[in-house]
Amino acid sequence: MKHNTVSAIINLVEPWEELKSLTENRPVGTLPFGGRYRLIDFPLSSIANAGIRNVMITSPRSGRSVADHLRSGNDWNLDTIRGGLFNFPYNDLSLVSPEKKEALIHHYYDNTILFLKRSNSEYSVVMGTRNICNIDLAALLRYHKERDNPVTTVYKSVDAKSVDPDTKVLQVTDNGMATAVVAASNTNVSPNEDGKLAKSLNIYLMSTVDLIDILNEANMRGELISLERLMLRAVIQHNANAFEYTGFYANIHDIGSYYDASMSILGEDNFRALFYSQRRIYTKVKNEIPTFFAKSSQVKGSLCGTGGYIEGQIKHSVIFRNVLINRNSKITNSVIMQGTRIGAGTTIENVIIDKNVVVGPNLQLKGTPENPLVIGKGKRIFRQTEVENV
């Protein structure tokens, strides 16, 4: 891709309430995934692999966790003299006071418009972080240039029986054009002859001039709505080219979907499709020693990050960096995030444990595959009664 052809906006203002146990102190985009990554790493890696060098991050709150993960952007080759990463915090309108909203009317999209104008890019891509994929944005740009519609959006064909009623899907015409993005429960939506629906991946490509016009018009109307809703309107207003993505895909919209996605990458085919394609997935680099596996440890079908110390048994689980698992403990079908310590003799099954949790010895933590138990960030649990009150 020619330098400076495309700029990118990663929109972190995404629904988080159904993931509240894990997103009280972070946007969905910085949710840990896959032993060492964050959800934002996937769109950022696609951007880096396509040679895009101007990237805007719209954060819902202070953006502290976003800034801590991205730092200068060097790990995605975005620490450049021209362009780079631009983080714009406090974009969650649900947290803005009425007085502040009054001041924002006619100016809510000013920062985005300024970024786009200064990028001098011909095209812009808008992406979210809830859909985990490894998309080729250069191919998306070629597809867009070969067609007449001003907007191109991306979908994944999924089995209609696996789709929730609230899932956003494309209405696709016979000639491959998207006319709207609507809920799967919409009466105008029907599966194709193969029983598939076009699940929206919330990725939109258009000319930068057109995107600036859309934002200016929203400002003039005094609309305070999310960038995602503006993109949905753009598809209805202009129609859109529908680009099919065929690689690994997972959608994170609640605790169950996060758990299922985490378990799914333990399958070798899924793991290789996501992390070992021609397009690498990059994340924040940490120079750490390898995890130490004691003679008493038994690890099967699991993913383990670096810097840990393992004495117990791990089966079909995702273990992040710097996790300590004491002897005689058993971890099964679980996700244990960075910096957590598990006491000796403790049994953990179908559980998601956030960062820096301490679990005492000889405890039983059990959920179910349909309803995994979640332990919030920084919790200290030393008694069985404390487990039951989580």
* Whether residues 206 and 149 fall in one domain: yes
Which among 247, 276, 305 is the end of a domain? 276
Looking up residue 257, the CATH number of its domain turns out to be: 3.90.550.10
* Whether residues 161 and 244 fall in one domain: yes
pLDDT-derived band at 233 (thresholds 50, 70, 90) equals very high
Look at residue 281 and tell me if it is in a domain.
no
Look at residue 287 and tell me if it is in a domain.
no
* Whether residues 324 and 354 fall in one domain: yes
Instruction: For 373, list phi and psi in degrees, rounded to 5.
Output: -75, 135
Look at residue 375 and tell me if it is in a domain.
yes
Look at residue 75 and tell me if it is in a domain.
yes
Mean pLDDT of the chain: 92
Q: How many domains does the chain have?
A: 2
Element (DSSP H or E) covering residue 121:
none
Look at residue 282 and tell me if it is in a domain.
no
Residues 258, 261, 266, 272, CA torsion sign: negative
Which among 276, 307, 338 is the end of a domain? 276
Amino acid of residue 372: P
Which among 222, 242, 276 is the end of a domain? 276
Look at residue 286 and tell me if it is in a domain.
no
**What is the Cα–Cα distance from 63 to 276, expressed in whole angstroms?**
30
Strands 303-304 and 351-353: unpaired
CB 137 within 8 A of CB 243: no
Range of the domain at 352: 292-386
**What is the Cα–Cα distance from 47 to 41, expressed in whole angstroms?**
10
* Whether residues 257 and 371 fall in one domain: no
**What is the Cα–Cα distance from 115 to 97, expressed in whole angstroms?**
25
Element (DSSP H or E) covering residue 262:
helix 255-264
Look at residue 1 and tell me if it is in a domain.
no
Q: Is the pLDDT of residue 375 over 60?
A: yes
Give percent of the chain with pLDDT exceeding 90: 75
* Whether residues 235 and 259 fall in one domain: yes
pLDDT digits (tens, 9 = 90+) for 181-195: 999 888 888 888 889
Instruction: Provide the pLDDT for residue 1.
Output: 57
DSSP assignments along 276-297, one per residue: SSSS---------PPPEE-TT-
Sheet of strand 303-304: strand arrangement: 303-304, 318-319, 335-336, 351-353, 373-375
Look at residue 358 and tell me if it is in a domain.
yes
pLDDT digits (tens, 9 = 90+) for 123-165: 999 999 999 999 999 999 999 999 989 999 999 999 998 888 8
Instruction: Provide the pLDDT for residue 3.
Output: 62
Give the predicted TM-score (pTM) of the model: 0.94
pLDDT digits (tens, 9 = 90+) for 137-146: 999 999 999 9
Looking up residue 371, the CATH number of its domain turns out to be: 2.160.10.10
Distances (CA, A) of 13 to 95, 111, 118, 315: 11, 15, 23, 35
* Whether residues 142 and 22 fall in one domain: yes
pLDDT digits (tens, 9 = 90+) for 9-63: 999 999 998 999 999 889 999 999 999 999 999 999 999 999 999 999 998 887 7
* Whether residues 171 and 223 fall in one domain: yes
* Whether residues 61 and 199 fall in one domain: yes
Contacts of 2 (CB under 8 A, 6+ apart): none
